[in-house]
């Protein structure tokens, strides 16, 4: 199958026309779409109903190309946080695919009708752009706001909204339990976590712990292809970690072939990601973290070291 570079993606990642599609359940497919230099957006396609969503569209054109290639229409836009490299395509995609332009009144929970005794999971038809209630004034074109603990249905697939602040104060993640998939935006990367632009180490630790509480076989779909550079940092502070050594070699192999390293799995990240391994004596020794420092303090030191790496 010929490899191609998706139009609009300035990086050289090659994606086979269908090699980036993951069948995560009997009907839900996830397709990775490279955007900008190293961003990933994700198309969610329920093949039974034809419902299509996109997570974190940095720009419109790569999404339009991917939809056109399969003759699909766009139903939902899901944003994990407000940064432009995750929302830059909202306005054009919303205009092109005919969403209602009238915004909802930012209601949540029972007021919105996301969950009720008579209709636990109502349709959000014609309400296309979905994001965090905390970020409702910073996400372009937002129609529906979701907050921590909200649940809704994407074409029959239950979606749990998990508040994951740290990178930004309003960051959320979208967890599809029946499909063992979570979209973590810029909270959790393979072998790293997001920079603390608006949050604290304590907030990031809490967010990562919530993700770590999910089943080990959960597939993690993050917002950027940073894994190769992340692996170099991780090896610099935990060089004796054999699981990390093996994974880093695999990441290098994929990179050399121009292939994505995402999705990763929670099990793999627990074994290799230094931000999930704050108790590692090797990491603490490498960064001179006191033995009595708590996990949040250790995470802060690791994050600072990564920022300066």
Q: 27-80 pLDDT, tens per residue?
A: 899 999 999 999 999 999 999 999 999 999 999 999 999 999 999 999 999 999
Percent of the chain clearing pLDDT 90 (strictly above): 77
Q: Which helix (H) or strand (E) holds 227?
A: helix 227-237
Residue 220 phi/psi, 5° resolution?
A: -105, 120
Residue pLDDT, tens place only, 205-261: 999 999 999 999 999 999 999 999 999 999 999 999 999 999 999 999 999 999 999
Average pLDDT of the residues in 11-20? 42
Distance CA(282)–CA(107), nearest Å, equals 47
Domains of the chain: 3-163 (3.60.15.10)
Report whether pLDDT(122) > 50: no
Cβ–Cβ under 8 Å, residues 201 and 296: yes
User: How many of the other CB atoms lie within 10 Å of CB of 154?
Assistant: 23
Statement: the pTM of the whole predicted model exceeds 0.75? yes
Distance CA(116)–CA(177), nearest Å, equals 20
Average pLDDT of the residues in 164-181? 97
Distance CA(257)–CA(178), nearest Å, equals 32
Q: pLDDT value at position 100?
A: 30
Distance CA(39)–CA(20), nearest Å, equals 14
| 107: its two tokens | 């209601």
**Residue-averaged pLDDT of the chain:** 86
Q: In 3-state terms, what secondary structure has residue 304?
A: helix
């Amino acid at each position: 199958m010929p490899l191609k570079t998706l139009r609009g993606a300035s990086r050289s990642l090659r994606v086979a026309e269908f090699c980036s599609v993951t069948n995560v359940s009997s009907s839900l497919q996830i397709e990775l779409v490279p955007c900008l230099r190293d961003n990933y957006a994700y198309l969610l396609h329920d093949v039974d109903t034809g419902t299509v969503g996109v997570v974190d569209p940095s720009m419109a054109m790569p999404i339009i190309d991917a939809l056109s290639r399969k003759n699909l229409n766009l139903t939902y836009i899901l944003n994990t946080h407000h940064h432009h490299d995750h929302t830059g395509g909202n306005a054009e995609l919303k205009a092109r695919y005919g969403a209602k332009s009238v915004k909802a009144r930012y209601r949540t929970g029972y007021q919105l009708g996301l969950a009720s005794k008579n209709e636990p999971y109502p349709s959000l038809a014609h309400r296309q752009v979905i994001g965090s209630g905390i970020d409702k004034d910073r996400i372009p074109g937002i129609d529906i706001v979701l907050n921590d603990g909200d649940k809704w249905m994407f074409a029959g697939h239950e979606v749990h909204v998990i508040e994951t602040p740290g990178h930004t104060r309003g960051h959320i993640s979208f967890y599809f339990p029946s499909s063992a998939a979570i979209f973590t935006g810029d909270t959790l990367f393979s072998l790293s976590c997001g920079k603390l632009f608006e949050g604290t180490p304590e907030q990031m630790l809490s967010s990562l712990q919530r993700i770590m509480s999910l089943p080990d076989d959960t597939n993690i779909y993050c917002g950027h292809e940073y894994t190769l550079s992340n692996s170099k940092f991780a090896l610099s502070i935990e060089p004796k970690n054999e699981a990390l050594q093996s994974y880093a070699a695999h990441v290098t192999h994929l990179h050399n072939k121009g292939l994505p390293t995402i999705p990763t799995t929670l099990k793999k990240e627990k074994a290799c990601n230094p931000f999930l391994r704050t108790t590692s004596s090797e990491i603490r020794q490498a960064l001179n973290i006191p033995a009595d420092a708590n996990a949040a303090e250790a995470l802060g030191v690791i994050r600072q070291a990564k920022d300066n790496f």
